Chain A
Amino acid sequence: MTVDRPWRIGLRSFALGYLALLLIVPIGLVFFRTFEHGVGAVWESITTPAAVSAFWLTITVTAIAVPLNTVFGVLCALALARGRFRGKAILDAMIDLPFAISPVVVGLALILVYGRGGWLGDLPFQVIFAVPGIVLATVFISVPFVVREVTPVLREVGDDQEQAASTLGASRWQSFWRVTLPSIRWGVAYGVVLSVARCIGEFGAVSVVSGKISGETETLTLLVEKRFQNFDIAGAYAASALLAFIALGTLLAMTRINPRREDA
């Protein structure tokens, strides 16, 4: 399609301006403000016991939720793309629930089920206002990403290669590892990146179920909010920058994870 020159320039300026206003300027400002008073102050503010605990809690919760949802997501995508069973449409719709429901509602729902007097309120260990609750909330809100990334890739790839593998003697398991997984790896990788981003950034659901006990059930996002409320603006900026660095690290790790050439 050919577009007139003024139009082209106009469209580009609009796209860049939009991104700059909504993304680049705010994030850039966070980094600017963070390091305004030097690296030392930042380092101090992110190495307080509360911050370190928050950092590790966020990492732990993500490290549990993401692998869980990756395995579930790939299995679920296989079922949706390959399987023929009753209730497939219902499963398909259910996957999107975490997208549709507000995270705060998710948190409240978890309290209803696992909280005092709830259906599963009598478990031998504490769920609500403890780490298991945070994990549950995080798992719930990050369910759809891997499924939604992998299902269309599986449909696109088709089952020809899997059939070929079976005629060549590969068991289902071998065929999955050697043929299916390599052909959907980019879908999986992208789903994992999105899941990680969502997990470390989750606020609403976690905020409801965590109880915000400093040094125990406080994640990084909750720490940012608390510092902000307590007028510790520099501390809030520092914690935010830490969050941004984790996200950036995940993105870079994912793009480097598979050095093999991609098919065109």
Chain B
Amino acid sequence: MIAVRDVRKSFGEFVALDDVSLEIPDGSLTSLLGPSGSGKSTLLRIIAGLEQPDTGTVVIHGDDATRVPPQRRGIGFVFQHYAAFKHMTVRDNVAFGMKIRKQPKDRITARVDELLEVVGLSGYQKRYPNQLSGGQRQRMALARALAVEPRVLLLDEPFGALDAKVRAELREWLRRLHDEVHVTTVLVTHDQEEAMAISDHIAVMDHGRIEQVGAPRELYDRPANRFVMGFLGPVSQVGEQLVRPHDIEISLAPGEGARQAEVTRVVHLGFEVRVELLLEASDGEARGDEPAGRGRGSVSAQITRHEAEQLELVEGGVVWVRTTGRTAVPA
């Protein structure tokens, strides 16, 4: 287990981490998710020992690692921009950590070949990093980090510099790899879809604080506050409540708790249909304290194509809406 306790870190005036505590269970894949400047990378670098916390402790597998240099923490680190050793071949890159540890040559050769097989780079041993694509370089970097058999694998936006398609592929691949090798993994990302897709746990961060920690579904369904709710998925405001757009039910007749609304726009996005609605003001609701740039009482709902066809929605039509889902936080 990795335990981070009461960690603070500032760079000059800027407070990067404000009293952060987090526990990462053994063998899990945990994501630190947040917008840029939320402190997620700083937290990862503190776990790695590449930064020193101003106060607080880092415990890795029961040992206080706070003052231990990165060399002796038993970690593997993968950088956003690969940090490949440009003057070394793929083989020498992957072998680096083992050579530093003065392991026997034949063992190094065997292990490098095995790892390159795992990351799908067999046959690339003699290439140089500049002869590889971005995705290949990052897989080489991952093999290099795994070569020293780290107790903890730390990844700092590992797919951030890659294009969307490669990113999605590598994400799935990393998850499968993790299921095979079971090394405790911490991944930093600003992409909520990436975090949702591969993590066992997500810690959502903002302004140097951890807002909420939990399984992806838990965070999506029961966000602790509006920041977490907004960061993990789309949000619509109905009256005093923030809800998911797919938790808004549209019907053609008034019902229990339903409010009248006018359809302003229907957008077909394939399987899903986005319906823009204008709520009728009632009983002191929707008083115009909506975020700037949005119309008074306007709401975006997400329904399926099938539902849209049954409702025969037309722009300007009048419908009744009510919220159905579990997921709601006060606006």
Q: Using a CB–CB distance below 8 Å, which chain A residues touch chain B? A: 160-161, 163-171, 174, 178-179, 182-183, 260-261, 263-264
B130 touches A169 (CB 8 A): no
Give the residues in chain A near B86, CB-CB below 8 Å: 161, 183, 263
Query: Which of B84, B129, B148 is close to A168, meaning CB atoms less than 8 Å apart?
Result: B148
B107 at the interface (CB under 8 A from A): no
Chain B residue with the shortest CB-CB distance to A157: B86
In the complex, what distance in Å separates the CA atom of A164 from the CA atom of B137? Answer: 14
Give the residues in chain A near B311, CB-CB below 8 Å: none
In the complex, what distance in Å separates the CA atom of A96 from the CA atom of B144? Answer: 41
In the complex, what distance in Å separates the CA atom of A169 from the CA atom of B77? Answer: 11
A-B contact count (CB 8 A): 66
- Contacting residues of chain B (68-107) with chain A, CB-CB under 8 angstroms: 69-72, 75-77, 79, 81, 83-88, 96-97, 100-101
Chain A residue with the shortest CB-CB distance to B72: A169
In the complex, what distance in Å separates the CA atom of A166 from the CA atom of B130? Answer: 22
Give the residues in chain B near A164, CB-CB below 8 Å: 77, 79, 83, 85, 141, 144
Give the residues in chain B near A161, CB-CB below 8 Å: 83-86
A160 touches B69 (CB 8 A): no
Interface string of B135-164 (1 = CB under 8 A from A): 000000100110010000000000000000
Query: Which of A163, A168, A182, A260 is close to B50, meaning CB atoms less than 8 Å apart?
Result: A163
A167 touches B75 (CB 8 A): yes
B48 at the interface (CB under 8 A from A): yes
Interface of A is mostly: helix
B220 at the interface (CB under 8 A from A): no
Give the residues in chain B near A183, CB-CB below 8 Å: 86-87
B128 at the interface (CB under 8 A from A): yes
In the complex, what distance in Å separates the CA atom of A171 from the CA atom of B48? Answer: 15
A160 touches B87 (CB 8 A): no
Give the residues in chain B near A168, CB-CB below 8 Å: 76, 96-97, 100, 144-145, 148
Residues of B within 8 A of A (CB-CB), count = 29
Q: Answer whether A167 and B85 are a contact pair too, CB < 8 Å, given A261-B128, A263-B128, A263-B130.
A: no
B145 touches A167 (CB 8 A): yes
In the A-B complex, list the 4 residue pairs whose CB atoms are closest, starting with the nearest. A168-B97, A160-B83, A167-B77, A164-B83
Taking A168-B100, A168-B148, A183-B87 as given, write out 11 further A-B residue pairs in contact, using a Cβ cutoff of 8 Å, ordered by the A residue number.
Answer: A161-B84, A161-B86, A164-B77, A164-B144, A166-B70, A166-B71, A167-B77, A168-B97, A182-B88, A263-B86, A263-B129
In the complex, what distance in Å separates the CA atom of A263 from the CA atom of B49? Answer: 30
B79 touches A163 (CB 8 A): yes
What's the least CB distance linking B38 to chain A, in Å? 21
A264 touches B130 (CB 8 A): yes
Chain B residue with the shortest CB-CB distance to A174: B100
B79 touches A171 (CB 8 A): no
A171 touches B85 (CB 8 A): no
B48 touches A167 (CB 8 A): yes
In the complex, what distance in Å separates the CA atom of A261 from the CA atom of B130? Answer: 12
Q: Answer whether A167 and B128 are a contact pair too, CB < 8 Å, given A183-B87, A260-B87.
A: no
Give the residues in chain A near B100, CB-CB below 8 Å: 168-170, 174
Chain A residue with the shortest CB-CB distance to B50: A163
What's the least CB distance linking A48 to chain B, in Å? 47
A167 touches B70 (CB 8 A): yes
